[in-house]
Amino acid sequence: MAKRRLSMRNTREILRLKFEKHLSNREIATSCGISHTAVNEYVRRAGEAGLTWPLPEDLDDTALEQLLSTGEEKPPPARRSLPPMEHLYHELKRKGVTLHLLWDEYKQKCPEGYQYSFFCEHYRRWLRTQEVSLRQHHRAGEKLFVDYAGQTIPIHDPSTGTITQAQIFIACLGASSYTYAEATLSQSLPDWIQAHVNTFEFLGGVPEILVPDNLKAGVKSPCRYEPDLNPTYQELAEHYGCVVIPTRIRKPKDKAKAEAAVMVVERWILAALRNHTFFSLGELNQTIREKLAPLNNRPFQKLATTRRGLFETIDKPALKPLPSCRYEYAQWKKATVNIDYHIEIDHHYYSVPYQLVRKQVEVRLATHTVEVLFKHRRIASHQRSYKRGGFTTLPEHMPEAHRRYLEWTPSRIIKWAGEIGPYTQTLVTEILNSRPHPQQGYRASLGIIRLSKRYSNPRLEAACARAVAIRAFSYKSVESMLKKGLDQQPLPVISHSPPLPLMLHENIRGNNYYHTQEEEDHA
């Protein structure tokens, strides 16, 4: 069992690469940045648990961890001896000597020794520490190396005179060296993702492995053993059915193919454009696209063919077909659910089930949608809104008491008050009408209506008649009258002088406002 516990995201990636992509355990280990023994262990546990890919939709991270959990770890085996690596290195220089032959001789002398796979792995690890340069052999359609050139091209804005340095994205297939290039305004995540989509469409297919440098848009946390990929980049790879294996930090030989492609593009395309002036990104990319054809049709110095010739015969037939739809760019963020069961995304608030208050969730932000996931399970989906300070709330996310509150309307509360009497209805109408927002009068109005349960409907109606007469439009006034028994005394004498003319203003609501508004809402 691996000593270091893997994240559930890594565990799911191991299962995907094993059961969907059918990669070897060592290839999976390289992609995920963990040891192959850890991969062996998790694949074995998945087999014992009867797991396949894709995983069931209702299997969240907690259930998956329980299925893959095991008992106590076994003690590590006793360390076995190995022949001196220097001896193996010099023996391999002799004609006809292979690692398999050397391992066979090793097992004859040491039957309890390591098996062939570990024997080779140990030797390769030692060899990498000796700074020995090895020629890399690339299989057809296997690897696509991606990087940005160090050189940029200026774009002039004719209206303002400002100059923007366009970045040059370069992609190169490992087997044929077939090259693609395009200009982007930046090296940000959206430009990085879109450049990959354009590359796949230029190639007409998808390779097995993407080999980027440790660019921030592709790798959030560079690490030799466990690089943390950007979730959007990981999602792109899953959409196109490929694997991301970043190069090691400060190991330029890992991306020698990309370095060579950058040099070729800078020499045959960027240098040729040094005296050109470009006024838009589209104009620049059109010129780069025109020069890509001569570059890929240019003969190799030591091979009687071209990049395009090798691509057509070797790489293209081995590429996987493009999916039916393009990848839709989406960002991933983490958010904590507030006590009002909403999360804040770009100054807008979206609801999630109230049971997740104070929990951390993952958010997928697409152009038109917002998806919220908890433990790899989607719990909410909203149409994306760009209104600052606005709320997008689904009723099913609310507690039952909050749902009932939202069902209240001014006209409904006025109707309830009318069931007690006309003066109660008038008082409630005045309270709602006196507030800047009707909702601010809900609590006082409902409080007055509930007084009928304590003092009876006739007494409440009498108290409301007195409150209307003296214009005491508040819950506390009515409650005080009932407590002191003023509702049972004669009404105060009211002057019969002619009423003042009504002030007309567009911000003053009339008596029929709420009923009219309610009808419009239903319409």
* Strands 219-221 vs 228-229: parallel, antiparallel or unpaired: antiparallel
Q: Tell me, what amino acid is at 258?
A: A
pLDDT number for residue 290: 92
Residue 171, sorted as left (phi over 0), alpha (psi -120 to 50) or beta, turns out to be beta
CA pseudo-torsion sign 181, 186, 191, 192: positive
Report which of residues 253 and 332 the model is more confident about. 332
* Strands 143-148 vs 209-212: parallel, antiparallel or unpaired: parallel
CA separation for the pair 95, 98 (Å, rounded): 9
pLDDT number for residue 65: 77
> pLDDT band at residue 171, thresholds of 50, 70 and 90?
very high
Residue 83 burial (CB count, 10 A):
17
How deeply is 310 buried, as exposed, middle or buried, from its count of CB atoms within 10 A (0-12, 13-18, 19+)?
buried
pLDDT number for residue 436: 64
DSSP single-letter state for residue 490: P
Report which of residues 325 and 514 the model is more confident about. 325
Mean pLDDT value of segment 362-376: 87
Mean pLDDT value of segment 80-92: 75
pLDDT number for residue 320: 92
Phi, psi of 266 (to 5 degrees): -65, -35
CA pseudo-torsion sign 102, 106, 111, 115: negative
> pLDDT band at residue 464, thresholds of 50, 70 and 90?
very high
Rg (alpha carbons) of the chain, rounded to whole number? 36
Task: Check pLDDT > 60 for residue 504.
Answer: no
Task: Check pLDDT > 60 for residue 77.
Answer: no
Domains of the chain: 8-68 (1.10.10), 85-128 (no CATH), 143-318 (3.30.420.10), 331-399 (no CATH), 408-492+507-522 (no CATH)
pLDDT number for residue 495: 52
Residue 72 burial (CB count, 10 A):
6
Residue 377 burial (CB count, 10 A):
13
CA separation for the pair 385, 365 (Å, rounded): 11
Digit-coded pLDDT (tens) for 102-143: 888 888 888 888 888 888 888 888 777 754 444 455 677 888
The count of residues in the chain is 523
pLDDT number for residue 278: 92
pLDDT number for residue 523: 43
- DSSP helix/strand/coil, 322: coil
pLDDT number for residue 283: 92
Report which of residues 302 and 283 the model is more confident about. 283
Task: Provide CB contacts within 8 A for 250, sequence distance 6+.
Answer: none
Please give the structure tokens belonging to residue 401: 């008491």
Give this prediction's pTM: 0.49
3-state secondary structure 129-178: CCCCCCCCCCCCCCEEEEEECCCCEEEECCCCCCEEEEEEEEEEECCCCC
CA separation for the pair 381, 41 (Å, rounded): 36
pLDDT number for residue 3: 41
pLDDT number for residue 57: 74
Answer whether 88's CB lies under 8 Å from 102's CB. Answer: yes
Task: Check pLDDT > 60 for residue 521.
Answer: no
Task: Check pLDDT > 60 for residue 483.
Answer: yes
Report which of residues 432 and 406 the model is more confident about. 432
pLDDT number for residue 216: 64
Task: Check pLDDT > 70 for residue 195.
Answer: yes
Report which of residues 179 and 34 the model is more confident about. 179
**CA-to-CA separations, 139 to 107, 333, 365, in angstroms, rounded:** 31, 36, 36
Answer whether 117's CB lies under 8 Å from 237's CB. Answer: no
> pLDDT band at residue 165, thresholds of 50, 70 and 90?
very high
CA-based end-to-end distance of the chain: 64
Where b means 16+ CB within 10 Å and e means fewer, 144-167 reads: bbbbbbeeebebeeeeeeeeeebb
Q: Mean pLDDT lowest for which of 65-79, 177-191, 405-419?
A: 65-79
pLDDT number for residue 522: 45
Q: Tell me, what amino acid is at 62?
A: T
Q: Select, from the ranges 97-111, 244-258, 490-504, the one with the highest average predicted confidence (pLDDT).
A: 97-111
Phi, psi of 127 (to 5 degrees): -65, -35
CA atoms within 13 A on the CB side of 156: 6
pLDDT number for residue 226: 45
Q: What is the residue-averaged pLDDT of the chain?
A: 80
* Strands 342-345 vs 377-383: parallel, antiparallel or unpaired: unpaired
Digit-coded pLDDT (tens) for 316-330: 888 999 999 888 888
Task: Provide CB contacts within 8 A for 19, sequence distance 6+.
Answer: 46, 52, 53
Mean pLDDT value of segment 353-369: 87
Answer whether 229's CB lies under 8 Å from 220's CB. Answer: yes
Please give the structure tokens belonging to residue 79: 């360390």
Which residue in the block uniquely carries the two structure tokens 């052999």? Answer: 137
Which residue in the block uniquely carries the two structure tokens 């069961």? Answer: 341
Task: Provide CB contacts within 8 A for 14, sequence distance 6+.
Answer: 6, 28, 32, 39, 42, 43
